[in-house]
Amino acid sequence: MKKATVVLLTSTILFTGCAQKDPERYNNYENTQKGVGIGAFLGALIGAVASGGNHAKGAVIGGVVGGALGGTIGYSMDEQAGQIAKELDEKVDNTPQAVVNPDNDIVISNTQKYVKIMLRDKMVFDTNSSTPTQEAARKIEKISNVLTKYPDTIVQVVGFTDSRGTYEYNQKLSEQRAKSVGDIFFNNGIQNQIYSKGCSYNKPIVPNKTKEDMALNRRVEIYLYPNTESVIDACSNQ
């Protein structure tokens, strides 16, 4: 009975993301260590329950199993971030200064929960256009080439504008731009789940006070998630 309990609980953690996936395809070392810590905590809970009376022994066993699971997720995200950075001839930069540097047309960051690729508007679109430039399309294709190795990664494309014009106009524009980038991923044949979302002028990087500030806020962000539990509301400041 105890053995069956271990199998059941472990399977629940391993396959929860798969069970919750939407069937529709379209609608660095530090991170690995964080993944190990989270996985070890969950694994310790599994082990403690499965061990019956010997909670200490079960927690140790479960911690080893869970740590391996969490470490695998963290390592996978590290790999993806590193490979994408190499494809785009960039580097992974988690510093806050990276996104406010106007010279950075692309910023790749890697957090505990996801990888984010920020593409600056001036590189991706012409003025008032929602069609990606040829340069942007080539870069998105390079990202797609990496994602073919990680078909379980969830891809979310999110568009942002500056505050000029009405909220409704900017909402539509941000949605169109996000979808057009998502379409390139889809047309490149990747098997990942792909979602697009527009945020209008919500969640600015800096206040929309000057033309230079507004240029920083116009962007597309591509989020790569290991599972559904890691998905965030990209339009929220929380």
- CATH code of residue 127: 3.30.1330.60
Question: Are residues 213 and 114 part of one domain?
Answer: yes
Distance CA 238, CA 224 (A): 18
Question: Are residues 153 and 135 part of one domain?
Answer: yes
Domain edge (last residue) among 61, 86, 111: 86
**Assigned domain for 167 exists:** yes
Split at pLDDT 50, 70, 90, the class of 57 is low
Distance CA 74, CA 43 (A): 15
Place of tokens 């470490």: 71
Question: Are residues 61 and 12 part of one domain?
Answer: yes
Question: Are residues 162 and 98 part of one domain?
Answer: yes
Whether 59 has a pLDDT exceeding 70, the answer reads no
**Assigned domain for 237 exists:** no
Instruction: Determine how many CB atoms are found less than 10 A away from the CB of residue 231.
Output: 15
Q: Give bridge partners of residue 125 from the DSSP assignment.
A: 132
Split at pLDDT 50, 70, 90, the class of 238 is low
Question: Are residues 211 and 102 part of one domain?
Answer: yes
**Assigned domain for 6 exists:** yes
Whether 34 has a pLDDT exceeding 90, the answer reads no
Please tell me the predicted confidence (pLDDT) of residue 101: 97
Find the distance separating the first CA and the last CA of the chain, reported in whole Å.
43
**Assigned domain for 236 exists:** no
DSSP H helices, 88-233, are 97-100, 121-124, 134-147, 167-187, 211-217
Question: Are residues 110 and 142 part of one domain?
Answer: yes
Place of tokens 């001036």: 122
**Assigned domain for 23 exists:** yes
Q: 76: helix, coil or strand?
A: helix
Question: Are residues 58 and 115 part of one domain?
Answer: no
Question: Are residues 107 and 224 part of one domain?
Answer: yes
Q: Does an H or E element contain 15, and which? A: helix 2-20
Structure tokens that stand for 201 in this block: 């002028």
**Assigned domain for 166 exists:** yes
Tell me: the pLDDT tens digits for 186-234?
Answer: 999 999 999 999 999 999 999 999 999 999 999 999 999 999 999 999 9
Could you give phi then psi for residue 178, rounded to 5 degrees?
-65, -45
**Assigned domain for 59 exists:** yes
Tell me: the pLDDT tens digits for 105-143?
Answer: 999 999 979 999 999 999 999 877 899 999 999 999 999
Question: Are residues 74 and 118 part of one domain?
Answer: no
**Assigned domain for 109 exists:** yes
Question: Are residues 213 and 124 part of one domain?
Answer: yes
pTM of the model: 0.72
Question: Are residues 6 and 74 part of one domain?
Answer: yes
Domain edge (last residue) among 44, 70, 86: 86
Number of domains in the chain: 2
Question: Are residues 115 and 79 part of one domain?
Answer: no
Domain edge (last residue) among 63, 86, 109: 86
Instruction: Give the structural domain span for 73.
Output: 2-86
Side-chain half-sphere exposure of 220, counting CA atoms within 13 A = 30
